[in-house]
């Protein structure tokens, strides 16, 4: 009887442990758990571009010459909405765009490629031959 009570108390915890372990194994096997999402941002305008990106308390400012890129790397948090907001500045212009939004972007193989033009950001989507261009949010 005592043994039965113990096993009854232990079992939910055991199941949880097994569940978590299996989840981690699946993650490791598929290589997904440890992968970071990478957002590549390229300056496609003909002058220096100042990119200021932030997520929660993390923020970075990068000055990109024409043709230069910067790569943001971070761990995606499953089930939580994540937005990486950016501002883009060059002579006489200031724009804002969310360069990453977990509900909008699928980022094939955990990579998102953006090319910044004067008219707006263009995303390179793996199954499209032409970039998908958007207008500035602001």
Binding site for ligand NAG (CB under 6 A): 44, 106, 115, 117, 122, 127, 131
Length of the chain, in residues: 138
**Residue 50 or 54 with smaller CB distance to ligand NAG:** 50
Q: What is the C-alpha separation between 4 and 9, in angstroms, rounded?
A: 9
Which parts of 21-129 are beta strand (E)?
37-43, 49-55, 58-64, 69-74, 83-90, 93-101, 111-117, 120-124
**Residue 47 or 58 with smaller CB distance to ligand NAG:** 47
**Residue 84 or 113 with smaller CB distance to ligand NAG:** 113
Minimum Å gap between C-beta 21 and ligand NAG is: 31
Minimum Å gap between C-beta 59 and ligand NAG is: 25
Tokens describing residue 62 = 């990068």
């Amino acid at each position: 009887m005592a043994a039965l009570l113990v096993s009854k108390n232990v079992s939910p915890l055991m199941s949880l442990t097994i569940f978590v372990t299996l989840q981690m194994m699946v993650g490791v096997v598929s290589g997904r758990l440890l992968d970071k999402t990478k957002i590549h941002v390229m300056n496609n305008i003909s002058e220096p571009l100042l990119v200021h990106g932030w997520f929660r308390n993390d923020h970075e400012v990068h000055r990109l010459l024409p043709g230069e890129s910067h790569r943001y790397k971070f761990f995606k948090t499953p089930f939580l909405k994540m937005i990486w907001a950016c501002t883009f500045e060059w002579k006489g212009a200031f724009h804002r765009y969310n360069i990453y939004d977990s509900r909008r972007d699928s980022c094939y193989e955990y990579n998102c490629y953006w090319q910044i033009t004067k008219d707006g950001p263009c995303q390179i989507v793996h199954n499209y031959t032409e970039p998908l261009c958007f207008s500035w949010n602001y």
